[in-house]
Each structure stands twice: as structure tokens, then as C-alpha cells.
Structure 1
Amino acid sequence: MWAKAGDTLNRPIFLCGGDLVAESGFVGSEGFPSSYKANSRCTWRITVPEGKVVTLNFRLFDLEADSQCRYDYLDVYSDHSAVGKKLGRFCGTFRPGNLISSSNAMMLEMVTDGETQSSGFVAFFKATQPYESQICGGKMTKSQGEIKTPNWPDGKYPLGVSCSWLITVGPDEVIQVKFDKFVVEADTECRFDFVAFFNGKETDDSRLIGKFCGDQTPEPIVTSSNELLVQFVSDYSVPLDGFLASYTSLPRGSQPPAVGSRARSVPPEPVVKPVATVKPTIPTTTAPPPPTKPPRRNNPRTRGENQRVTPSRPNGNKPNPQNPVCPKTCKRNGTVKTGFCSSEFVITGQVTSMAPGPRGTLVVNISLIKAFKAGRLTITQAGETMAVKLVSRCKKCPLFRRGGNYIIMGQVDEEGRGTLEPGAFTAPYKAPHQKLLMNISKQPC
């Protein structure tokens, strides 16, 4: 629906749900760009002409952030039904990548609770040809071939793309895919950038063979039929080299299929929750802090995270537990170059929160500016930026200030968390350091 403002400007009025039947158009949260309403449930059903699919591109996105999208969220489905064809659940302020339905229909459902209203979302939808796009994807009917991310091997894959390849071979054959190279943004749930394989033509969970991300090359996969749908999705940050894979047809029954596998090519460390949701307990004689916002809705893997942990402070009546490994004088070791070479991770970022950890440690949450060297460090999404969690062996060594920007170098523990030993290299970060770190990152240690 469109409203007239003055004589020259037409602006869309976004309502709570509705049926959108068109070749293209905009869809947005009720009242956008004003804040959406509390305690609401809105459903939009998009229909494009028969024989085409719906491509959805988010222009703006701002919903209440939560690591599990339990409070305010947007569900997107590859049909007008909410059964078995969910393309994702989204919240926070990080725009999802392009989404493509498997038919000429798509459904969006937005749910909000009674607190923390934001501006919502606006997205553009259009009808496109199945398994085709401007830069990647397509139909493949030869008995063997290659699939690769856009720009391979000359550059990193683009931000915000969705590519679909439909591979079809003879009726008595199955398809085997082997990866030659694989470097896709890592995440324990493969929420951000990923490649997924489906038996048949539809992105149905029951037909999912595997979903992969990270830098560990997936094992070869084999379909159970003569059709394979491959979908690659990237979001709007951290573009990497991508992948190159080759496929070939095999006689049916020559190798057991891998149907039902949910394997994900991610770092082998155990899953680490990005941000703590329970404040550490320290001795105090004052009233305990109020509880964190309780979960109200169940939700598996989804994007969005911006929970904050408020540092607990001593009340002065009891001393903090002492950490014997902390030196009386804290001094930084080495230079930028030697610290870069000896560290497993090198990042620049802003300190967003600090909280006491076990045995005299300090848990520091960092909003990432840039990762020059990541190693096994777990990097997660928090709002519009990526974030990491670091554990310092000493509460005041190195010395951080909330809101400050720093160069931080350190090691990574078995759970993927960054660790800072006494003497780890840290320094206040300024813009000229960007070029220095870039130059060092290109040099051999």
C-alpha cells in the first residue's frame, strides 16, 4: 500500500502482514521506519508468477537482539506453509543474506514480545528464474562438472549472495561431490556463510545431506537419487576464499549414500556459547543483581546476538580472590612484529564488557574491528559487528577500559576462546595501526 506525502513523494505504508502478489515489491515490518508494535504476530505471503522463484534481499534490519532469537524475530519460509521449509529465523541488527524460495511462494512471519521495540525491517522481493542468478548457480545436466563460489580463484566470494545449482544425471545414476578447496566463514551452527546439499530439487530439511562451513574440507558426499540441489549463502561480513568442488555421476548402488547426515565442517573444538548469559557470583553483602531476561520461546540455530554482561563489582567489605600467576608489575612483552608472529590470534576491537571469571580471571567481550590472524579463535555475531570472547589470567593485566579500542594478541584454548597471559601484547588501537598490521600480516614470520 502506498501513501502520498505532499505532491512529489510517495512512500510505502507497511502493514501487519498481507498477501503480496506481484513480480517484485517491498515488504516491511508494520509502521517501518517507526518502531514496530509490541506483542504482535504478522504474516506476509508473497506470490510471484508460476515457474519462477522468490528472491528476497534485505535492505534494512533491526530487531531486538538475542543469541537465540527468543523475543523478537522474523521467520522466513520457502512456501506459504510453515511446515518443513524454513529458510531461517533472524533477529538483531545484522542483515541476513539473500534468501531464495524453492517455489513461486514465500512466507514471512514476524513475532514480537512486550519489550524493546526497534525499527524492524524492510526487504525487496522479486521473481527470478529457478537455480539461476546474475553471478552464480544454474542447471547442470552433464555427467561431471565443477561448482565453485563466485570470484574463485581470483578473489573472495561476494557479500550477501545466494547461489543455487541443480545437478541432474541419468535416472539410474547418483551424484558424488568431492571438494578440492574449502574456506568459508566458520560458525558452530553454520548460520552465516554455508553451503548445503539436498537430495532432489527442494531445500527441505528431510532431504538435507549436509551443511558445511569453516576451513575443514568436507568428506565426499553421495546422493540417493539422480538430482542434487546445492545452495551457497553468504551474509554481509567476513568474505573468504570460498570453495571449489567437482561432481561426477556413479552407477546407483555403487556407494552407500550419505542421506540424513547433518555434518558441518567447522573447527573441531567443542561448541562455545558466544556470550555468557549468567553473571559470575562473587562474595558480597549487598542484594544480588536482578536476573537476566528469562527465556520465553524456544528457538534452535539462528542469527543475532547482542547480550551484554555487566561486570560484577566488589562491595569493599571483602577482598577479591588473589591470582598467584599475576605479577605485581604488568609489562607488555615484545614488539608488534614479534607479538604478531608468536600469537595465535591478532585482532583489533573495542571492549564492550568485562566480568570477573573463575579463579581470579577476567572475561572480556570484544566487538571486532578486524581480525588479522584468527587461528582457532571462535568469532561470533553481535549486532552489526563480529565479536570474540577473551579470558585474561589477571584482572588488571593487561589493563582494559570499557569502550576503548585495542590491538590484542594472544593464544586460543581448547574451547576456541582467546586467552591472554600476563605480558600478552596489547596496545591502544589507532587508525595508523591498520596499515602497519596489514603489512606485517603479509610478511613471513
Structure 2
Amino acid sequence: MRTRAWAPLWLLLAAAAQLSRQQPPERPVFRCGGILTGESGFIGSEGFPGVYPPNSKCTWKITVPEGKVVVLNFRFIDLESDNLCRYDFVDVYNGHINGQRIGRFCGTFRPGALVSSGNKMMVKMISDANTAGNGFMAMFSASEPNERGDQYCGGHLERPSGSFKTPNWPDRDYPVGVTCIWHIIAPPNQLIELKFEKFDVERDNYCRYDFVAVFNGGEVNDAQRIGKYCGDSPPAPIVSERNELLIQFLSDLSLTADGFIGHYKFRPKKLPTTTAAPVTTTNPGTTSLKPTVALCQQKCRRTGTLESNYCSSNFVLVGAVITTTPRGGSLQATISLINIYKEGNLAIQQAGKNMSAKVTVVCKQCPLLRRGLNYIIMGQVGEDGQGKIMPNSFVMIFKTKNQKLLNVLKNKQC
């Protein structure tokens, strides 16, 4: 009887000892930056999941075994939201020094898997004086370059011609939560011509959810963006300004579509390029085209009134100029939208409640746009979805008294 009484107690003691050896691991402590090596691991903003500190700059350098590539998956991201990610953001780079920037992220949009071209990746997080959010947490892992499968995409393209496509093309829709970066590099004396053969990306008037963006140069740089595209109409052919192009594809965590396949080829610089071509965006009724140089030698003078220009313009908006970037003889400006009265095919970006649009002032100082000022802007829209402002386009400083007339014009039948 005594043996039977002690047997259950012995089993309970053994089970308790086993449980004590299986205590859950301690929650990791995330610090500002660090050096990480190995097959896998986690990185996170300082103090995650608590609110990240202000005025910080943190750098994580990740190295996986030689011959493999780094795959970075964001599990959580919550940084101050801004349509240009100017204040608090996470940058991801190929390599540790002077590497190509794969992407910049802020807000709460969680990008898909990011893949380096080699065994090194660098992640930087910057915060300004005002913070908002719990930061980010991401997992890195090592992968074989030739075994990335349909889950991953992107890479370096250096052959004289080639193709690129969304994951799963053409068998089924592209997956949710994907980030693809293709970096095309031509010899220094050549340019890159890009064409999309098939194109079907979730449609949205502002291309906020799934989109393809094309950039001059080798990094995601808003000032160098050629266009942002979505819907089921292939973008017009694109020719780079230099010997590098970057193509970025992002899908969010909801609807998907067929995807796309695109082709590129190198070509000599001496051929005409899109940036040197005659200006083809004209007001309705215009029958002749003038080269940009001749156009910019004319006097800078807007013609007509708000009323007379409203119907002849593709778009009409009121907005604040937040960035201006000279590009040769032209100027590219980012306009933070206060109100839009006529949208046309103007590509509009949205991040949270902030909406913005890009316009190109064909003749850099005609009309002159100054940062920080609010303008009424009327103009035409190019094939890339960017607004084109000609010397005779109707542009004026916005005044409160203009509001009533603009509201009337918005309901006007053109």
C-alpha cells in the first residue's frame, strides 16, 4: 500500500522538475543598433514594444554566412506617418557601406520580404524631436540566392536586355505583402529603355495600395521618381536619364491582381530620350509643338483668368509646395494638397490623411514656385501621371477670397 501511495507523488515531482526546465525565454531587449551575425535573428527599435525615443539614429549591420543572401521580414511597424517619410523612418540598404537603398518605410504599412543581393544588409532608423508610435520589429534570415522561390523577387539586372515580373506570373495573382526591387545597371555610356508588356495591379485613383514606382538612379528617392503606376493599363515606355533605373513593386495585405511582366534593353546615349524630347503636353486646341529650349526663352506670363483656364486644364488644385528639385532646365515640385477641384489623370499619393502630387515646371523659373507657399495650380497631365506646368499655365498665390469662386467652378460642366 505504501508503494502505491508514493508513486503519484514521485510522478508529480518529476513533472514539476520538467516544467521548471521549460520556462519560457526572456523577452528580448531591443537596443539602438548593433552588429548581428548568423543564420537568423531579430532587430527592433530601441525599447520596442514601448514608444521609441526622439532624436535618435540607430544602425543595425546584419551579416549572414558567405554565399547566402539576407531576407528581412517586418513583423510590426508603427512610425510617425508622412507621405514622404521625412521625419521618422526606417531605411534598408544592400551591404554595410555605400550600399543601394532598397526602401524607406514609415507609418503602419508593413512591406513584404526585402532581399539583399549579397550576405550583408544594413538597417537604419531615424526619429526627429516628435515621435509617434511603437517603432518596428523585424526578423532576418539567411537564404540561398537560387532558392528564394516565388515568395521573393527583385535583384540586380546587368545584361544588355532582359525581363522582370511579379511573383507567380503568369500562373496566378501576385501574393499579398510583397516588396520587389529591381536595380538595372547599364554601362556608363548607355541608357535604359523600359516597357511593360502586360500590366494589372490593383486599381486605385491614388495608387495607395499596390503600385509600381520607377526611379532614375539606384535607390528609392522621391526626388528621382519617374512615375507611380497601378490599374490595368501599361505605363508608357520609359527611358532613363542615366545608366541606372530602379523599379519598386509593393502589394499591401488585401486585394491582389494578375501582376505584370516588363522588358528592358540598353541603348546608346546619343539617341533622343524622353527628357530631351519636345514638350508634348499642350492645351486643347494647340496644334504646334515647340522644343523646350525655345519655349523657355519666351516671357513668363500666365494668360486668362481662373474661369477661362478651368475647363482647358487637366487638373486644378490648391496646395502647399513642400519640395522643389531642379532637374536640368526644369523643376520638379511636390505639392501637399489642400483641396483638389479637378483631378483628371493626375497621380495622387496618400499617406494617412496627407495627400500630395508631383508637378514638373517645364521651364525651371517660369512660373516660379517657392517652398512653403500656397498656390492655385492649373495644368496638364503627362503620361506618367505627373502634372506639367508650362510658362503660360495659370498659377497664382492662393488667397482665401479665391475659395468661393473655385467651389463654383468645381460644379461647372466643361
Alignment-derived partner of residue 290 in structure 2: none
1:259-278 → structure 2 map (5 Å cutoff): none
- Residue 191 of structure 1 and its aligned partner are, at CA, apart by 10
Alignment-derived partner of residue 211 in structure 2: 193
List gaps (5 residues or longer) in structure 2: 1-21, 277-312, 327-335, 357-378, 388-406
For 2:102, give the aligned amino acid. Answer: L
User: Structure 1 residues 246 and 65 mapped into 2: Cα distance closer, same or farther (>3 Å)?
Assistant: closer
Give 3-state SS (helix, strand or coil) of 1:70's partner. coil
CA distance in 2, matches of 1:269, 1:159: 34
User: Structure 1 residues 133 and 272 mapped into 2: Cα distance closer, same or farther (>3 Å)?
Assistant: farther
Please give the TM-score of this superposition, normalised by the length of structure 1: 0.48
Alignment of 1:92 onto 2:92: no
CA distance in 1, matches of 2:242, 2:380: 37
Q: Deviations over 1:126-145 (max 9, x none)?
A: 12233652205489999987
User: Which of the pair has more CA radius of gyration?
Assistant: 2
Alignment of 1:35 onto 2:4: no
1:87-236 → structure 2 map (5 Å cutoff): 87-130=102-145, 133-135=148-150, 137=153, 147-153=164-170, 155-163=172-180, 178-184=195-201, 193-194=211-212, 213-214=229-230, 215-219=233-237, 233-236=249-252
For 1:100, give the aligned amino acid. Answer: V
- Residue 34 of structure 1 and its aligned partner are, at CA, apart by 0.8
- Residue 29 of structure 1 and its aligned partner are, at CA, apart by 0.3
CA contact (8 A) 2:92 2:123 kept: yes
For 1:95, give the aligned amino acid. Answer: R
Q: Deviations over 1:401-422 (max 9, x none)?
A: xxxxxxxxxxxx96789x9966
Alignment-derived partner of residue 292 in structure 2: none
Q: Alignment RMSD, CA only? A: 5.7
CA distance in 2, matches of 1:298, 1:191: 26
Give 3-state SS (helix, strand or coil) of 1:182's partner. strand
CA contact (8 A) 1:69 1:299 kept: no
For 2:33, give the aligned amino acid. Answer: G
- Residue 159 of structure 1 and its aligned partner are, at CA, apart by 2.3
Alignment-derived partner of residue 50 in structure 1: 66
CA contact (8 A) 2:191 2:239 kept: no
CA distance in 1, matches of 2:226, 2:257: 20
CA distance in 2, matches of 1:223, 1:213: 19
User: Structure 1 residues 20 and 258 mapped into 2: Cα distance closer, same or farther (>3 Å)?
Assistant: farther
Please give the TM-score of this superposition, normalised by the length of structure 2: 0.51
CA contact (8 A) 1:53 1:101 kept: yes
Give 3-state SS (helix, strand or coil) of 1:108's partner. strand
List gaps (5 residues or longer) in structure 1: 1-5, 262-267, 279-294, 301-306, 310-354, 364-373, 390-412, 425-445
CA distance in 1, matches of 2:103, 2:50: 24
Q: Deviations over 1:92-142 (max 9, x none)?
A: 122233322222111112122222342000111112233652205489999
Alignment-derived partner of residue 36 in structure 2: 20
For 1:180, give the aligned amino acid. Answer: E
CA contact (8 A) 1:76 1:89 kept: yes
Alignment-derived partner of residue 94 in structure 2: 78
For 1:62, give the aligned amino acid. Answer: D
1:269-308 → structure 2 map (5 Å cutoff): none
Q: Deviations over 1:228-280 (max 9, x none)?
A: 998653142563432123568x9x8799597999xxxxxx978989xx669xx
CA distance in 2, matches of 1:147, 1:51: 23
1:348-367 → structure 2 map (5 Å cutoff): none
CA contact (8 A) 2:103 2:219 kept: no
- Which structure has greater helix proportion? 2
CA distance in 2, matches of 1:132, 1:63: 33
For 2:50, give the aligned amino acid. Answer: S
1:361-400 → structure 2 map (5 Å cutoff): 376=345, 378-383=347-352
CA distance in 1, matches of 2:160, 2:182: 14
User: Structure 1 residues 165 and 110 mapped into 2: Cα distance closer, same or farther (>3 Å)?
Assistant: closer
Give 3-state SS (helix, strand or coil) of 2:26's partner. strand
CA distance in 2, matches of 1:50, 1:259: 41
CA contact (8 A) 2:215 2:227 kept: yes
User: Structure 1 residues 187 and 86 mapped into 2: Cα distance closer, same or farther (>3 Å)?
Assistant: farther
CA contact (8 A) 1:180 1:245 kept: yes
Q: Deviations over 1:53-85 (max 9, x none)?
A: 22211111111112332322222221212x362
CA contact (8 A) 1:183 1:213 kept: no
